[in-house]
Chain A
Amino acid sequence: MTFKLMIPNTEGELQQELMDDEARILAGGTDLMVQMRSGKVAPTRVVSIKKLERLKEISDLGERIRIGAAVTYSELQRSHILQEKSPILLKAIRQIGSLQIRNRGTAVGNIANASPAGDAVLAMVLSEARVEIMGPKGERHESIESFIIGPGRTTLSTGEYIRAVVIEKTDDWQSLFIKVGQRNAMCISVASIGVLRKGKEVRLAFGSVAPVVVRAHKAERFFTREGIDGTKLGEFVERCVESISPIDDVRASSWYRRQVVRGELMKIFGHPDVGGTDVT
């Protein structure tokens, strides 16, 4: 079996390389290298984007922030724009893997990997992220929610790559990220919950409890329309739970995932005084 690693110097070269059906992009490699070793994927051509300086940029677009495909989690953590304008993304990143993984893994890689457990994906879903895609037919943009279509599956077609992701600034929202894992560090989410709240508006997303990271749009609208006082709280939480469809896997059962999502939501929205959260 032939295996080639290409390290293009320009985006033009990158596009050329990606015309091969078998090609896979190597950004941080924190997922790809593991999948290649286990035999889950066996690409014959891997293309590193590490030399593409333009993909390493973080730019302030006013209302939004653009994050290049090769920007690592650690770089995001050190970025003043992110620190000031996207607390939710930083809260999520803090809980990803280990320091070594954050030094290498990228937020865009998290999107491309399309895991339902993607912590950064969850924060970006809450930040109404738009994915900037380049391909043979030029540039296109897609919302992160429609871009990720299943576990490990996106709308990328041959020759296309993600150049950047553009997220909304959310510093005027209260934010909360809860990760339920199997230990206190270096774990994969068994369930994760992200909340942004601004007055009567709320955004909610859940990880590891459906084939993809899900936004609870129905429940969000319910929250704005009806509020959560008295009996409404239970109804609101049930709408949230309707948006998830967890499965049993090696980390936890579907029963458990449903329980913790329901329990955490009751705590976050029902007991602001003892929940220790900054959302309600």
Chain B
Amino acid sequence: MKTSAPERERVVGSKVTRVDAVEKVTGLAKYAPDIYFDRMVHCALVIARKPHGILHKIDASRAQKLPGVFGIFTYKDVPGKNRLGEVVDDMPCLVAEGETVKHYGDVVAVVAASTQKTAEEAARKVRLTIEELPAVLDIEEARRDEIRIHGSSNVSVHKKIRKGDVSKGFSRADLIIEDNFMASYQEHAYIEPQGVVVLPDTDYGMTVYGSIQCPYYVQSSLSKVLGFPMSKVRIIQAETGGAFGGKEDVPSFVASYAAVAAYNLKRPARLIYPREIDIHTTSKRHPVKSRYKMGFSKDGEILAIEVDAYMDMGAYATLSPVVMFRTLVHAAGAYSVDNVSVDTYGVYTNKVPPGAFRGFGSPQVLFAVESMVDEASRRLGIDPVDMRMKNALREGSRTSTDQLLTESVGAVETLDKVNELSNWKELNERVEAFNRGSLFQKRGVGLSHIIYGVSLGAQGQHIDKSGAHVQINRDGSVDVRIGGTEMGQGAKTVMAIIAAEELGQKLSQIVVHQTDTAFVPDSGPTVASRTTMFSGNAVRIACKSLRERLVKLYAELNSCSEDEVELHDGMISCGQDKGMPFDELIEEAFKKNVKMFEAGWYQSPVLEWDPESGIGQAYITYSFASQVVVVEVDMITGNTKVLEAYTVHDVGKAINPEGVIGQIQGGFVQGMGYALSEDLKMLNGRILTDNFNTYIIPTIRDIPRVFKYGIVEDEFSEGPYGAKGIGEPSLMATPPAIANAISRAIGRRIRHIPATPEYVLNVIKEDAE
């Protein structure tokens, strides 16, 4: 290619203003509940409210009579296939009479009415006759298979890694540690609940506006439920008020329910979840119960690791098998270990089906493996940083799936940097000194070191691709359309930076549009911290072609060499000439009928993977992070405060540093909630903590007073400008760092998260009583 990327990047890596900031700070941004249409009906859901049972009868007669009710829709009203589920479609859209309800939040009917209040009132009046069946409510009970939820065994998914020979590793070990860990649910708690508006459109199909992370999932799901070709289902993402994985597959369900109403009434139908319905029915982070056995040499080398992990998939598998792939690959942690055996299992229970959540099945096992490594360092008397350093991955190392790492391995650098940032040695001394003088408050320092496989990996490579469409308008303004979505993480800003960098147009003249399936082909899901890399590469590729044409045109007009043409900040110039504003050049391009739009496409490099042995290239590359936290535990109440946090992330390249920092800070606090207070409580399959007065997420008062971060840029050749991903690793390092800090503070091992005050007090008192 003649016109390669600019010699030095000028917009990439600089501080810019978020492109969607003004609309959001003035309250003008349009989220799903802010979108209205004439003749629109309001929907509410009728849910089973029993964990397991046969649905004999749906009686809507009383509800029908309420003034303002337009319709109550059941399985009989689903025009297409009454099935949902992105990876495994084992979930009914609306449970049919005669079928079984499998969890409390199973959806049975959709009510449409003139107001949301009327719809909700009518939903409460729909009578369900359910013959209750005994319910399976935990992993152990499910494994016994006495009650089977889907006919065959409850243990329905199994994945494994077999690398080296663990028994040989253990036989050489000076220290073997075995332990059990439990990581419980986490609710996404995005502040905007799920919501969509579905309307019959001018193509005689359906258009959806919604709070959506993965528009293409919604499109395919709706096409099946409605029995429409995909060409007649259009998904336009509304501004999305947080997602974190919680709006990955769930909006497909939400939109399907609303679409059933819209289809039958031939009117726009809006379905906005009340918080309680959201918490009762939508996905969570999977509970994972794990058993670890690790062997170490006396100088701290990890010789063997053996893991069994059971994931609670709830009543339907939905995304669980792919979540489990990440659990599998991350179970052995961020280390170079010759002998690895991992088994992960998914089990059905009569509870809400968990799904995607920032980290996607990895935080649960990273918490466990980092607790094991911490315990080993304590027992062996080796400094926790040295212990990690000894086993850390480097260029030329092989991962737990025997993948050879050839570039962009910033692991060691994150450890070095966090050591320095936290002033590690002095910090530990400071904490020890505090503890000598304190009886009721004990402090502890915790370290974690984690790995994150970027993008979808070997088991998702068939959907690991992204498109983009870039068009320069006659006035010089630029339309950028991507298949990834903006849900707060800053995707639009990163795309605008890339377009500005490549085209040389001013950032303010670039509009990154809301994602719309009508403009960009299926680009896979916006998950797995892949948007910067996949949509970013696609935008970059499209812009490069446009740039080439602009350079050629300018060179022709000014009779100069293409090699000397420069585009920057809305000006185009060549050598020492006075240059030309970007919009004037575009005017010339229009006069000469130069093609001013381009599609970009980027797909995952092919990964070699053997699912039988779990050996191969699990992911295209890896991000790394190291984190230090200081906690203070109240020995009387078991309450933990995080006082200081130091976190260092290898992101490849920070295209938008402010966005990266925002992810690091936000991920930390969300991880802190998971580690400490976010305790999803259930009784007989019903979630008791169904709103924010009982489901306790951090407030501004709970965050550490000292928060320092560091960024390592060990560039990745496939990433745009070297970028990898930061969305998920920002959270993943935190639970183990906090758990290790508490363990050090109280002198006993934390084996369960969230480590609520009550759990911690239990551990403190274990032997005392």
Contact = CB atoms under 8 A, between A and B. Distances in A.
Direct A–B touching, Cβ under 8 Å: yes
Interface of A: 34, 180, 182-188, 190, 250-253, 256, 259-260, 263-264, 267, 271, 274-275
Given A252-B758, A260-B636, A274-B440, A184 B689 contact: no
B694 A250 contact: yes
Given A183-B677, A187-B696, A250-B689, A260 B702 contact: no
Given A182-B756, A250-B689, A275 B702 contact: no
A280 to B, nearest CB: 14
Interface string B427-456: 000000000001110000000000000000
Interface in B620-678: 636-639, 641, 677
B765 interface: yes
Given A180-B757, A184-B641, A251-B694, 4 more contacts: A182-B756, A183-B702, A250-B694, A274-B438
Contact of A267 (B636, B688, B765): B636
17 contacts: A34-B693, A180-B637, A180-B757, A183-B701, A184-B699, A185-B702, A252-B757, A256-B638, A259-B761, A259-B765, A260-B761, A263-B636, A264-B637, A271-B439, A271-B440, A274-B439, A274-B440
Contacts of A271: 439-440
B570 interface: no
Nearest to A188: B693
A256 B758 contact: yes
Given A274-B439, A275-B440, A263 B701 contact: no
A182 B636 contact: no
A183 B702 CA distance: 7
Contacts of B439: 271, 274
A136 to B, nearest CB: 35
Nearest to A186: B699
Contact of B699 (A34, A185, A251, A253): A185
Contacts of B438: 274
A79 B497 CA distance: 53
B57 interface: no
B761 A256 contact: yes
- Which one of A260, A264, A275 has the greatest number of beta carbons of chain B within 10 Å? A260
Interface in B27-49: none
A182 B696 contact: yes
Contacts of A182: 677, 696, 756-757
Given A250-B681, A256-B761, A183 B636 contact: no
B164 interface: no
A256 B679 CA distance: 15
A267 B441 CA distance: 11
A256 B701 CA distance: 24
A267 B440 contact: yes
A87 B677 CA distance: 30
B154 to A, nearest CB: 28
B440 A180 contact: no
Nearest to A190: B757
B701 A253 contact: no
B702 A180 contact: no
B698 interface: yes
Contacts of A187: 696
Contacts of B696: 182-183, 187
- Which one of B639, B698, B702 has the greatest number of beta carbons of chain A within 10 Å? B639
Interface in B683-715: 688-689, 693-694, 696, 698-702
A18 B746 CA distance: 56
Contacts of B756: 182
Contacts of B701: 183-186
Contacts of A256: 638, 757-758, 761
Nearest to A252: B758
Contacts of A185: 699-702
- Which one of A185, A263, A274 has the greatest number of beta carbons of chain B within 10 Å? A263
A188 B637 CA distance: 15
- Which one of A34, A184, A187 has the greatest number of beta carbons of chain B within 10 Å? A184
Contacts of B641: 184
B116 to A, nearest CB: 13
A71 to B, nearest CB: 24
Contacts of A267: 440, 636
Contacts of A253: 758
Contacts of B761: 256, 259-260
A186 B438 CA distance: 28
Nearest to A265: B636
A37 to B, nearest CB: 9
Interface in B730-769: 756-758, 761, 765
Contacts of B440: 267, 271, 274-275
Nearest to B692: A186
A182 B689 CA distance: 13
Given A250-B689, A250-B694, A274-B438, A263 B637 contact: yes
A156 B765 CA distance: 44
A182 B681 CA distance: 14
Nearest to A34: B693
Contacts of B636: 260, 263-264, 267
Nearest to B756: A182
Contacts of B689: 250
A85 B701 CA distance: 28
B768 to A, nearest CB: 11
